[in-house]
């Protein structure tokens, strides 16, 4: 796959942003900001040993926002030619002229701009051909299918690799950018026995190809997860401890973030209104954001408004330390941005001393959740109710798989009832945590 020269492309995109900002001033805007990206990638999928898809991509994107005082207009394009950029700026200006004034709109404060773009080791392009990608995906799927005759079908294995350049600038004089890359490999297979069929998957993702798990390991884990689900039963309705596997516990962290994001707070649509400085979790819980982590999957030296990012505790000693705000939300709430335009970056729950086996023994009898279904999380009230599948545990050991159940509770109670966070942080992603053991939830079944 031909490689973009990142330094040359970075300079080109920076010039596009500078020209765009000058054009916005020429068209009468009092302020403007823009983000522009250019990337390319390869995606291959193999299913049942045969090549299913091979896709080469090359994409550009530009978004511009202009301000006429406190009036705002936005427009976007995938065409980076000078004519298209001028037309996009004109479209944004035409929108802004007819919008209502909003006293909270505008660029982030100039003193908060990043003063330098830290090198975070985010760019590791993978010089791989489509043939080599097919070989890797096939090795992954072969490993999943080879180990057990009960693996009877496959949804395929997919290799994705992308790299490119991103630049943001605004009329405070800030223009910054950096190259990035991201690679992933995933596999999903279907198992079957006399009781029926089950499906599961596994994947790996990283900034650099050498940080990916081996294809054979990804395939074997997908198969192991599928086979473990065969013979699943239903449960009678009851209350019991619930252990969220690490990849499911990351979803609880996302619910926390959703409840302390600016829009939920200024719309008064969060169960964590006015929770700053209050204990939400037991005292052992620390949840930390590190946007400057080297090779982090969501690392960035500045947020989507050019504000310098920094490491901070979102929760420390169980107490909520801060919200997740961009500059608009901060103005609505009478405070300052937390550098989170575009979201949180590399959120990590501090790991505890227990491995997964230790968590099972700590729980004794209860439910392990390995899959969640539906959107039953109400961030206004904190009510939580989702379809689930996993394993029933007795005497600290897995007894049998379960399916077609619902788990329910309230996020406030679930956070307060957190008994332990494991050290089994083996799930890939930008939200890193071990498994979470919750003291008690309602399990609805037969």
Same structural domain for residues 129 and 242?
A: no
Same structural domain for residues 13 and 88?
A: yes
How far apart, in whole angstroms, are the C-alpha atoms of residue 229 and residue 1?
39
Q: Cβ distance 323 to 338 under 8 Å? A: yes
Number of residues in the chain? 446
Same structural domain for residues 72 and 127?
A: yes
Q: What is the pLDDT of residue 1?
A: 41
The two three-digit tokens of residue 311, written as one number: 């490491």
Q: What is the pTM of this model?
A: 0.94
Q: Is 171 part of any domain?
A: yes
Q: What is the pLDDT of residue 4?
A: 58
How far apart, in whole angstroms, are the C-alpha atoms of residue 97 and residue 27?
11
Q: Is 72 part of any domain?
A: yes
Q: Is 344 part of any domain?
A: no
Q: Is 139 part of any domain?
A: yes
Same structural domain for residues 209 and 236?
A: no
Same structural domain for residues 173 and 54?
A: yes
From residue 413, alpha-carbon distances to 277, 280, 374, 381, 438 in Å are: 17, 9, 20, 12, 9
Same structural domain for residues 150 and 34?
A: yes
Which residue has tokens 């989170």? 340
How far apart, in whole angstroms, are the C-alpha atoms of residue 73 and residue 93?
6
Q: Is 293 part of any domain?
A: no
How far apart, in whole angstroms, are the C-alpha atoms of residue 138 and residue 52?
11
Same structural domain for residues 239 and 205?
A: no
In the chain, the number of structural domains is: 2
Q: What is the pLDDT of residue 2?
A: 46
Q: Is 362 part of any domain?
A: yes
Contacting residues for 422 by C-beta, under 8 A, at least 6 apart: 246, 351, 352, 354, 355, 356, 358, 359, 434, 435, 436, 437
DSSP state of 112: G
Same structural domain for residues 239 and 101?
A: no
Strands (E), 358-435: 366-373, 383-394, 397-410, 418-421, 431-432
For 174-201, letters b (16+ CB in 10 Å) and e give bbbbbbbbbbbbbbbbebeeeeeebbbb
162: nearest Cα among 147, 184, 141, 145: 184
Which of 227, 259, 289 is the last residue in one of the domains? 227
Q: Is 281 part of any domain?
A: no
Same structural domain for residues 103 and 185?
A: yes
Same structural domain for residues 236 and 133?
A: no
- DSSP assignment of 341-353, as one string? TT---SEEEPP-S
Contacting residues for 307 by C-beta, under 8 A, at least 6 apart: 108, 112, 113, 114, 327, 337, 339, 341
The tens place of each residue's pLDDT in the chain, 446 residues long, gives 445 578 899 999 999 999 999 999 999 999 999 999 999 999 999 999 999 999 999 999 999 999 999 999 999 999 999 999 999 999 999 999 999 999 999 999 999 999 988 899 999 999 999 999 999 999 999 999 998 999 999 999 999 999 999 999 999 999 999 999 999 999 999 999 988 999 999 999 999 999 999 999 999 999 999 999 999 999 999 999 999 999 999 999 999 999 999 999 999 999 999 999 999 999 999 999 999 999 999 999 999 999 999 999 999 999 999 999 999 999 999 999 999 999 999 999 999 999 999 999 999 999 999 999 988 999 999 999 999 999 999 999 999 999 999 999 999 999 999 999 999 998 899 999 999 999 999 999 88
Same structural domain for residues 49 and 184?
A: yes
426: nearest Cα among 233, 227, 224, 282: 224
Q: Is 341 part of any domain?
A: no
What is the extent of the structural domain holding 401? 229-251+351-444
Q: Cβ distance 181 to 108 under 8 Å? A: no
Same structural domain for residues 238 and 210?
A: no
| CATH (domain of 66) | 3.30.2290.10
């Amino acid at each position: 796959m031909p490689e973009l020269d990142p330094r040359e492309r970075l300079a080109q995109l920076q010039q596009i942003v500078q020209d765009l900002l000058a054009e916005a001033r020429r068209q009468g805007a009092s302020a403007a900001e823009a983000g522009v990206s250019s990337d390319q990638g390869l995606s291959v999928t193999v299913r049942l040993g045969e090549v299913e898809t091979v896709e080469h991509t090359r994409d550009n994107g530009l978004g511009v926002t202009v301000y006429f005082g406190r009036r705002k207009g936005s427009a976007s394009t995938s065409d980076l030619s000078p004519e298209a950029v001028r037309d996009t700026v004109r479209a944004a200006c035409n929108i802004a002229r007819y919008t209502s004034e909003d006293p909270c709109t505008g660029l982030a404060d100039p003193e908060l701009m990043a003063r330098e773009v830290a090198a975070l080791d985010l760019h590791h392009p993978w010089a791989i051909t489509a043939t080599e990608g097919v070989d890797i995906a096939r090795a992954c799927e072969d490993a999943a299918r080879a180990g057990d005759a009960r693996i009877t079908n496959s949804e395929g294995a997919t290799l994705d690799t992308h790299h490119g350049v991103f630049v943001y600038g605004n009329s405070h004089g800030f223009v910054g950018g950096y190259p990035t890359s991201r690679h992933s490999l995933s596999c999903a297979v279907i198992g079957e026995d006399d009781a029926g069929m089950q499906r599961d998957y596994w994947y790996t993702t990283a900034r650099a190809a050498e940080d990916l798990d081996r294809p054979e390991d990804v395939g074997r884990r997908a198969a192991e997860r599928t086979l473990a689900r065969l013979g699943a039963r239903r449960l009678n309705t009851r209350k019991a401890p619930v252990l969220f596997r690490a990849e499911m516990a990351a979803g609880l962290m996302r619910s926390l973030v959703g409840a302390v994001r600016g829009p939920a707070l200024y719309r008064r649509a969060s169960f964590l209104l006015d929770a700053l400085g209050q204990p939400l979790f037991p005292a052992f819980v620390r949840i930390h954001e590190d946007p400057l982590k080297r090779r982090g999957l969501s690392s960035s030296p500045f947020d989507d408004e050019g504000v310098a990012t920094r490491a901070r505790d979102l929760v420390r000693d169980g107490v909520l330390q801060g919200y997740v705000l961009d500059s608009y939300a901060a103005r609505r709430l009478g405070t300052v941005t937390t550098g989170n335009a575009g979201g949180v970056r590399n959120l990590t729950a501090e790991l505890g001393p227990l491995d997964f086996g230790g968590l099972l023994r700590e729980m004794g009898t209860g439910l392990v959740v390995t899959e969640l279904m539906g959107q039953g999380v109400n961030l206004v009230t904190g009510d939580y109710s989702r379809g689930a599948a996993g394993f029933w545990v007795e005497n600290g050991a897995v007894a049998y798989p379960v399916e077609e159940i619902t788990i329910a509770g309230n996020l406030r109670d679930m956070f307060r009832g957190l008994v332990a966070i494991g050290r089994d942080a083996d799930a890939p992603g930008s939200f890193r945590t071990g498994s979470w053991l919750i003291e008690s939830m309602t399990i609805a079944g037969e």
